[in-house]
DNA sequence: CATGAATGAGACTTCATTCAT
DNA sequence: TATGAATGAAGTCTCATTCAT
């Protein structure tokens, strides 16, 4: 599935890589370029060059640029939720800690990695590729929504959080994440230093505020 | 702002000479199409057709597609902040109401109008048009940031909100707005009914939660 | 016919010019621009602007850009030969002087005036406008050829010049003229000072040499 | 020089890969068309078709139509002067013969070949491409001027020609050549038989006359 | 007559995709 | 399997020409 960014033996010369690695490397290259320049403004030749192969080779693995795009989304997004769900189900500790842990984990495993670009990408190209947007809906949005909902429900069940309309409360946690990704990929390169956002400070501040609003009054 | 399509005589003359109205109509058409399909996927001929003119006429008013895009951003975004700033400075009432009023006003004047697409557009094309992204930073992001900061400061000064790190607290209000716009333009068309967000409910829920986190404990 | 370059009452304001002057002014403007930039690279709007009228007005007088071109050539070239022929027929003095006189006259009346550009123009566009080239052949080349031939014949008849194959000898005088015009219009703007040609020195030098070759040996 | 169209197998494969040969073939095709129709009136697609490739292939080798034009001039004109200079430096025989030899050689190697069109082309497009005109000045005009000057100087040094102002005397030989090229490319196709110029007769006649003017009187 | 806004055919150029090697 | 030269559809932009005012 998704090729983790590092972990290629660095001594392996580019030309000698195994054939099996090709699709992953192409996808990795495409992800970076699509995120950076958008789908239309990225030339397949650039993707191929960045992956160290020729233009023709790319078409050996992906029938078209659009298919490459779909593969990028599918592959990068691919099922990390089950694993997370387990992790969170087994979490010991109060729900405030759980929320903090979840957000930090998200940042470390998604937000700060190249995979984070996928969200920006999907948002930017959603109307051009409705199929992809739907896929993202099903594979990322819905599971993510569920995961967070379960976390909040846990807090309510344990008497830590007050009752709240969960359908919308989950967006209190999703919105900062989405915002952070969009900011990181779209505005950071153009923002003056005074407008730069430090991700961890941002996350902690948002989570503190949100939690403080969610906690039962008498705490 | 641009002139809304004026009452065209229904008999629609073929080659009407309407120099004053053209730029606004072209910008309006371009905004809709750019938001819907992205900058690259929109053909200038489509924009012209939607504005009811020929391809050549577009280039009479905008030297290039890129200039048209810049004009769209500039025109749609153009200086609404001074007016808002005044309005908010004169606001009578407590800061909770002010925050609610500000968010509702934003939704009515930006969020629910076609202008909302600008944000999505800028985010999507930021790396292709750094100049535009910078412009947006300066003309929209920075003033918006200031406006919200002033609102929160007012609440603190009046003893309604507790002390908080304002630089990041403002994002508690910005993030839901940005999120809502991205969602509206990117995911809504592809989301199943169960995942649809009702904007006003969303805003109210977020604001309630955030405010409840910002209020002084002893309230 | 051909509007002589100066001689417009300078006090006449541009806007108040008589309508009858328009075609001549357009032709004058077109000649200058066609010579400077070539037919294709000259925009009719530029011609109109230089003549102080609008684009539409130009098409009131000339049905098309091509017709304007033809008018430029026809009008600028128009019959000056009869007059010259008379002048030269009445010339008193030896044929060496006559040749010198003819060449100097040509320079003053054609070579140094804007009309000189017409030759460059016709040569440059001959293959695109064969009809124009033919016209130029008939109206300029053939009469010019005849005129020079008559001059040389006179020298032979009077025993000043030796016998020579006239058909080709005339080119000994034509070639320097054509060369000078091409040089002036094509290379002068790009040539370093060391390669600049002073027209009168050039003419005198060429004529001296040619005459010295034409004169009877025993002189 | 460019590679003359090599013996193509008559079965003409559709998508032959002939990277080495393409630029030369495109330049050859472009030379012919530019000379025939002018730069602006020649469509790149025509050039490509004449070279037997598709439009896209042309842009594989030349970034723009303008670059193609520059390449045509550069390639066709490219350094033939050193070779000629040597040849003339080693010439045995009197200077009259040398001048005749030089002129005939020029005709055979330039005047009668497609390369002759370059001069017409440069003259016609000089103001549109000042850079090209400058290049031509430096690469062709100046060296040609020098070469002829050296020939005349040789004649003077050997006591064959009389003293003369060399700066302008060289034009006595250059002017007929330029004239001949312009005539050939511009007027010949449109001239009636009676006005056709036979190049060799023309050259011989001009050279005879010029030499006869240059020779020492007592010869 | 004059204007200049509007038109649309046409040209250059790009780049995803194909395919001979 | 890999390459990269070749293709051609598609898109931006220009500008001669038209025509409502």
pLDDT above 50 (res A182): yes
Contacts of B191 (CB under 8 A, 6+ apart): A137, A141
Buried b / exposed e along C128-162 (16+ C-beta atoms within 10 A)? bbeebbbbbbebbbbbbbebbebbbebbbeeebbe
| B135-154 residue pLDDT tens | 898 888 899 999 999 999 99
pLDDT score, position D193: 87
Distance from CA of C107 to the nearest CA of D (A): 16
Q: How many CB pairs under 8 A join C and D?
A: 177
Q: Do chains C and D touch (3 or more CB pairs under 8 A)?
A: yes
pLDDT score, position D83: 84
pLDDT above 50 (res A193): yes
Backbone phi, psi, residue C215, to 5°:
-65, 155
Cα distance between residue D102 and residue C86, in whole Å: 41
Contacts of B136 (CB under 8 A, 6+ apart): B73, B77, B118, B122, B126
Provide the CA D45 to C1' F20 distance, Å, integer.
38
Task: Identify nearest nucleotide to residue C59 by CA to C1′ distance.
Answer: F17
pLDDT score, position A21: 72
Cα distance between residue D219 and residue D213, in whole Å: 11
Q: Do chains D and A touch (3 or more CB pairs under 8 A)?
A: no
A139 near A77, Cβ under 8 Å? yes
* Residue C161: DSSP 8-state: B
C55 near C103, Cβ under 8 Å? no
pLDDT above 90 (res B68): yes
Cα distance between residue D44 and residue D47, in whole Å: 5
pLDDT above 50 (res B9): no
CB atoms within 10 A of CB B145: 19
pLDDT score, position C146: 92
What does A99-155 look like in DSSP terms, one character per residue? HHHHHHHHIIIIITSGGGHHHHHHHHHTTT-HHHHHHHIIIIIHHHHHHHHHHHHHH
pLDDT score, position A3: 42
Three-state DSSP at A161 gives: strand
pLDDT score, position B121: 92
pLDDT score, position C88: 86
Three-state DSSP at C82 gives: helix
Q: Which residue is nearest to nucleotide F2 (CA to C1')?
A: A57
Tokens of D10: 């008559």
pLDDT score, position C9: 43
pLDDT averages per 10-residue partition of chain C, 219 residues: 42 51 91 94 97 96 96 84 86 95 93 91 91 90 92 96 94 96 90 89 95 80
B154 near B98, Cβ under 8 Å? yes
Closest-CA residue to C177 (of C93, C88, C112, C82): C112
pLDDT score, position A218: 54
pLDDT band at A12 (very low <50, low <70, confident <90, very high): very low
Average pLDDT over residues A148-159: 96
Q: How many CB pairs under 8 A join A and B?
A: 176
Average pLDDT over residues A4-12: 41
Average pLDDT over residues D87-115: 93
Q: How far is CA B209 from the centre of its chain?
A: 23
Domains of chain A: 14-75 (1.10.10.60), 79-214 (1.10.357)
pLDDT score, position C189: 83
Query: A146 CB near a chain B CB, below 8 Å?
Result: no
Taking the CA atoms of B26, B31, B33 and B34 in sequence, report the sign of the dihedral they define.
positive
Q: pLDDT over 70 for what percent of chain A?
A: 89
Closest-CA residue to B130 (of A36, A121, A181): A36
User: Which segment, A136-145, B10-19, C39-48, is predicted with the most confidence on average?
Assistant: C39-48
| B91-117 residue pLDDT tens | 999 999 999 999 999 999 999 999 999
Closest residue in chain B to residue A212, using alpha carbons only: B213
Count of residues for chain C?
219
pLDDT band at A95 (very low <50, low <70, confident <90, very high): very high
Q: Degrees (nearest 5) of the Cα angle C182, C188, C191?
A: 125
Closest-CA residue to C160 (of C85, C76, C107, C96): C96
| B23-50 residue pLDDT tens | 999 999 999 999 999 999 999 999 999 9
Q: How far is CA D98 from the centre of its chain?
A: 20
Three-state DSSP at C215 gives: strand
pLDDT band at B200 (very low <50, low <70, confident <90, very high): very high
pLDDT above 90 (res D191): no
Three-state DSSP at B219 gives: coil
pLDDT score, position A194: 82
| Mean pLDDT value across chain D | 89
CB atoms within 10 A of CB B56: 8
Query: A211 CB near a chain B CB, below 8 Å?
Result: yes
Backbone phi, psi, residue D215, to 5°:
-65, 155
D55 near D45, Cβ under 8 Å? yes
| Mean pLDDT value across chain B | 89
pLDDT score, position A1: 42
pLDDT above 70 (res A9): no
| Cβ contact, residue pair D123, C128, below 8 Å | no
């Amino acid at each position: 599935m998704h090729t983790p960014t590092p972990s290629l033996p660095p001594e392996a010369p580019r030309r000698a890589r195994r054939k099996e690695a090709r699709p992953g490397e192409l996808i990795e290259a495409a992800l970076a370029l699509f995120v950076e320049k958008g789908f239309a403004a990225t030339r397949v030749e650039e993707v191929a060059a960045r992956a160290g192969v020729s233009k023709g080779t790319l078409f050996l693995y992906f029938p078209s640029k659009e298919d490459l795009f779909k593969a990028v989304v599918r592959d990068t997004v691919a099922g990390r939720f089950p694993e997370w769900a387990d992790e969170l189900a087994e979490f010991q500790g109060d729900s405030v800690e759980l929320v903090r842990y979840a957000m930090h984990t998200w940042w470390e495993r998604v937000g700060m990695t190249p995979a984070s670009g996928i969200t920006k990408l999907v948002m930017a190209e959603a109307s051009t590729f409705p199929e992809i947007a739907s896929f993202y809906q099903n594979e990322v949005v819905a599971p993510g929504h569920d995961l967070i909902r379960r976390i909040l429900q846990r807090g309510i069940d344990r008497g830590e959080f007050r009752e709240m309309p969960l359908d919308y409360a989950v967006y209190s946690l999703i919105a900062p994440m989405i915002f952070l990704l969009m900011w990181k990929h779209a505005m950071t390169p153009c923002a003056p230093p005074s407008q730069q956002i430090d991700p961890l400070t941002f996350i902690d501040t948002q989570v503190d505020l949100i939690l403080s609003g969610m906690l039962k009054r008498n705490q």
